Protein backbone atom coordinates (compact mmCIF):
# COMPACT_ATOMS: atom_id res chain seq x y z
CA UNK A 1 0.00 0.00 0.00
CA UNK A 2 2.81 2.42 0.90
CA UNK A 3 4.53 1.79 -2.46
CA UNK A 4 1.29 2.55 -4.30
CA UNK A 5 0.78 5.77 -2.33
CA UNK A 6 4.36 6.85 -3.06
CA UNK A 7 3.94 6.05 -6.77
CA UNK A 8 0.92 8.35 -6.92
CA UNK A 9 2.54 11.00 -4.72
CA UNK A 10 5.69 11.20 -6.84
CA UNK A 11 4.17 10.45 -10.27
CA UNK A 12 5.08 13.92 -11.59
CA UNK A 13 8.60 13.96 -10.17
CA UNK A 14 10.30 13.86 -13.58
CA UNK A 15 8.14 16.69 -14.92
CA UNK A 16 8.81 18.83 -11.87
CA UNK A 17 12.54 18.13 -12.10
CA UNK A 18 12.49 19.22 -15.77
CA UNK A 19 10.80 22.50 -14.82
CA UNK A 20 13.28 23.49 -12.08
CA UNK A 21 15.83 25.06 -14.46
CA UNK A 22 13.26 27.28 -16.22
CA UNK A 23 11.89 28.23 -12.79
CA UNK A 24 15.39 29.29 -11.70
CA UNK A 25 15.81 31.21 -14.95
CA UNK A 26 12.54 33.09 -14.31
CA UNK A 27 13.91 34.09 -10.90
CA UNK A 28 17.13 35.31 -12.52
CA UNK A 29 15.11 37.28 -15.10
CA UNK A 30 13.12 38.96 -12.32
CA UNK A 31 16.32 39.85 -10.46
CA UNK A 32 17.84 41.25 -13.66
CA UNK A 33 14.69 43.30 -14.30
CA UNK A 34 15.06 44.90 -10.86
CA UNK A 35 18.59 46.02 -11.76
CA UNK A 36 18.09 47.02 -15.38
CA UNK A 37 16.05 49.53 -17.34
CA UNK A 38 16.84 47.81 -20.65
CA UNK A 39 13.41 46.47 -21.60
CA UNK A 40 14.70 44.71 -24.72
CA UNK A 41 17.24 42.67 -22.74
CA UNK A 42 14.60 41.71 -20.18
CA UNK A 43 12.23 40.71 -22.99
CA UNK A 44 14.92 38.52 -24.58
CA UNK A 45 15.54 36.80 -21.24
CA UNK A 46 11.85 36.03 -20.75
CA UNK A 47 11.61 34.76 -24.35
CA UNK A 48 14.57 32.45 -23.70
CA UNK A 49 12.84 30.98 -20.65
CA UNK A 50 9.60 30.56 -22.61
CA UNK A 51 11.49 28.71 -25.36
CA UNK A 52 13.22 26.55 -22.76
CA UNK A 53 9.83 25.59 -21.26
CA UNK A 54 8.31 24.86 -24.68
CA UNK A 55 11.28 22.70 -25.65
CA UNK A 56 11.19 20.70 -22.41
CA UNK A 57 7.43 20.14 -22.57
CA UNK A 58 7.56 19.21 -26.25
CA UNK A 59 10.67 17.03 -26.28
CA UNK A 60 10.30 15.28 -22.93
CA UNK A 61 6.54 15.24 -22.48
CA UNK A 62 4.89 15.29 -25.93
CA UNK A 63 3.17 18.67 -25.62
CA UNK A 64 2.49 20.52 -28.85
CA UNK A 65 1.11 24.00 -29.28
CA UNK A 66 -1.13 24.89 -32.21
CA UNK A 67 -2.34 28.22 -33.55
CA UNK A 68 -4.77 27.55 -36.42
CA UNK A 69 -5.06 31.04 -37.94
CA UNK A 70 -6.12 30.76 -41.60
CA UNK A 71 -7.11 27.10 -41.27
CA UNK A 72 -10.56 25.56 -41.70
CA UNK A 73 -12.55 25.73 -38.47
CA UNK A 74 -12.50 22.38 -36.64
CA UNK A 75 -14.78 22.28 -33.57
CA UNK A 76 -12.99 19.21 -32.24
CA UNK A 77 -9.82 21.30 -31.74
CA UNK A 78 -11.15 24.86 -31.59
CA UNK A 79 -13.65 26.90 -29.65
CA UNK A 80 -15.39 29.70 -31.53
CA UNK A 81 -15.42 32.78 -29.28
CA UNK A 82 -16.77 35.02 -32.04
CA UNK A 83 -18.24 34.46 -35.50
CA UNK A 84 -18.16 37.07 -38.28
CA UNK A 85 -19.59 36.91 -41.77
CA UNK A 86 -16.87 37.56 -44.34
CA UNK A 87 -16.88 38.09 -48.09
CA UNK A 88 -14.92 35.62 -50.20
CA UNK A 89 -15.13 32.60 -47.91
CA UNK A 90 -16.52 29.31 -49.15
CA UNK A 91 -16.37 27.63 -45.71
CA UNK A 92 -15.73 28.55 -42.11
CA UNK A 93 -12.14 29.71 -41.53
CA UNK A 94 -10.19 30.83 -38.48
CA UNK A 95 -9.64 34.58 -38.78
CA UNK A 96 -7.86 35.19 -35.49
CA UNK A 97 -6.55 33.17 -32.55
CA UNK A 98 -7.26 34.56 -29.06
CA UNK A 99 -5.54 31.67 -27.23
CA UNK A 100 -3.36 28.95 -28.71
CA UNK A 101 -4.39 25.35 -28.26
CA UNK A 102 -2.35 22.50 -26.82
CA UNK A 103 -2.22 18.78 -27.52
CA UNK A 104 -0.56 16.03 -25.52
CA UNK A 105 0.56 13.19 -27.78
CA UNK A 106 -2.12 14.26 -30.28
CA UNK A 107 -4.98 14.56 -27.76
CA UNK A 108 -6.41 18.07 -27.34
CA UNK A 109 -5.71 19.35 -23.82
CA UNK A 110 -6.98 22.85 -24.49
CA UNK A 111 -8.92 23.96 -27.53
CA UNK A 112 -7.67 27.00 -29.39
CA UNK A 113 -9.94 29.99 -28.73
CA UNK A 114 -10.66 31.58 -32.11
CA UNK A 115 -12.64 34.05 -34.21
CA UNK A 116 -14.38 32.20 -37.03
CA UNK A 117 -15.15 33.68 -40.41
CA UNK A 118 -18.42 32.41 -41.85
CA UNK A 119 -19.29 32.72 -45.57
CA UNK A 120 -21.52 35.75 -46.07
CA UNK A 121 -25.18 34.87 -46.54
CA UNK A 122 -24.96 31.32 -45.08
Contact status, residue 101 vs residue 68, Cβ threshold 8 Å: yes
What b/e readout covers 56-78, taking b as 16+ CB neighbours within 10 angstroms? Answer: bbeeeeebeebebeeeebeeebb
- For residue 35, what pLDDT is reported? 86
The structure's pTM equals: 0.81
Return the closest-CA partner of residue 113 out of 62, 77, 60: 77
Give the pLDDT confidence of 39-78 residue by residue, as tens digits. Answer: 888 889 899 999 999 999 999 999 999 999 999 999 999 9
Return the closest-CA partner of residue 63 out of 19, 109, 96: 109
- For residue 95, what pLDDT is reported? 97
Amino acid sequence: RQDKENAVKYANESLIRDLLDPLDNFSRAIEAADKSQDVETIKKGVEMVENQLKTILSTNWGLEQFSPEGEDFDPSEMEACMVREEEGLDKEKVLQVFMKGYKLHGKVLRSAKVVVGKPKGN
